[in-house]
Amino acid sequence: MRHGPSSTSERPAMDDLEILMRLGLAAIAGAAIGLNRDLHGKAAGVRTLGTVSLGSALLVIAGMNFSATHEGSDVSRIIQGIITGIGFLGAGVIVHQKDNTVTLGLTTAACIWLSSGIGIACGVGAWRLLLISLPLIFLILTLGGPLEKAVHQWWDKMKS
């Protein structure tokens, strides 16, 4: 019978508060991005992006708990599976209009993918990464559209 960890790769089990914090912050961060999308009238909003982020965190935490008790499991494979699956979900919101060169839904698809990444970061407890990335995400979502419009207006004036 083994006593104590046999290697440095084993980690103590998370307590309920740690799990709640990881899942809660994932849900809140994803929902906040969803609120931005909802305020812009997009199909994926608070519920979609909040659950994408929460689901990603849940799967990573479950994988970490599984790998702590079973040999040969790999959390990175779980993360790869999440990203692949979320790619299909994101593809569902992209609409290309045949009679126009406009493709709609790219930012929302990127936000779905990004919400999954936020959930993964919360799931592994990468708090610094989360705290640094969230303000950048909201800066891009808030100022990106107006910046694009201003640059296009300037560019059109330069061409004429």
Cβ distance 56 to 89 under 8 Å? no
Q: Is 31 in contact with 50 (CB distance < 8 Å)?
A: yes
Q: How confident is the model at residue 63 (pLDDT cuts 50, 70, 90)?
A: confident
In this prediction, residue 7 has a pLDDT band, given cuts at 50, 70 and 90, of very low
Closest CA relative to residue 60, chosen from 83, 78, 85, 86: 78
List pLDDT tens digits, range 77-131.
Answer: 889 999 999 988 888 888 877 777 778 889 999 999 999 999 999 999 999 999 9
DSSP-derived letter for residue 108 is H
CB contact at 8 A, 122 and 22: yes
* Residues near 51 by beta carbon (within 8 Å), at least 6 away in sequence: 27, 30
**CA distance readout (Å), 148 to 33, 34, 104, 140:** 20, 21, 15, 11
- Alpha-carbon gap, residue 32 to 141, rounded angstroms: 11
Question: What is the pTM for the complete model shown?
Answer: 0.81
| Closest residue by Cα to residue 83 from 57, 46, 117 | 117
The whole-number pLDDT of residue 2 equals 40
